[in-house]
Amino acid sequence: MTNRNTVRLILASVVLALASFASPSYAKDGYLVFSTAAYHFKNQDERNALVPGIGWEYSPTGAMGFHVGTLSDSFGFQATYAGINYGTRRFWNNKARFLIGATIIHKQYHKNSDPEAKIVPFPVLEIALRKNAVLNISGSPEIDYAGSHSNGVMFFQVKFNLR
């Protein structure tokens, strides 16, 4: 992905965020997302723990939503992503819910490799921190499939509802 495409994705995220204020439903269920950190279960010393990024997520409860953004991946490549999600009902005194879906992400999957675009699952535990701030905890397990190996990782995003 070129720097020009990364800038376009960032601008698209900003436009989606601003457009959300025109619609009460988007404002209620829209979030400005900051990617923050990743914990790698193996080879942590060869990967970045800080993975800063910005994006936009629309995730209504009981309906389909979307997410789009950019972040520095575990090897320092400026990754971009877009996908769909579904928010479950809230539980634990209305403080948590799950998001499930799929994401297309363009990033480096292995050290010193070329970046690739892949479709990956989007499993998230969302926990309310404050009235308009939540923490996304997500990740993927270590997988060996068709001659390819991926390291298990857990990553964290902080989201702010701007309404």
Distance, in Å, from the CA atom of 44 to the CA atom of 72, rounded to the nearest integer, reads 16
pLDDT of residue 98: 97
Over residues 90-109, the pLDDT tens digits come to 999 999 999 999 999 899 88
CA 89 to chain centroid: 20
More confident residue, 162 or 131: 131
Average per-residue pLDDT for the chain = 84
* Percentage above 90 pLDDT, the chain: 50
Average pLDDT estimate for 124-152:
82
Q: Is the pLDDT of residue 86 over 50?
A: yes
Q: Where are the domains of the chain?
A: 3-160
Q: Which of 91, 89, 87, 90 is nearest to 100 (CA)?
A: 87
Over residues 43-62, the pLDDT tens digits come to 888 889 999 999 999 999 99
Specify the pTM. 0.81
For 140, counting Cβ atoms within 10 Å of its Cβ (0-12 exposed, 13-18 middle, 19+ buried), the class is middle
Distance, in Å, from the CA atom of 95 to the CA atom of 90, rounded to the nearest integer, reads 7
Query: In this structure, which topology does domain 3-160 adopt according to CATH?
Result: Porin (2.40.160)
Strands 30-40 and 64-72: unpaired
Locate 67 and state its tokens. 């997410």
Segments in the chain forming alpha helices (H): 3-20, 24-29
Q: Which residues of 43-74 are buried (b: 16+ CB within 10 A; e: fewer)?
A: eeeebbeebebbbbbbbeeeeebebbbbbbbb
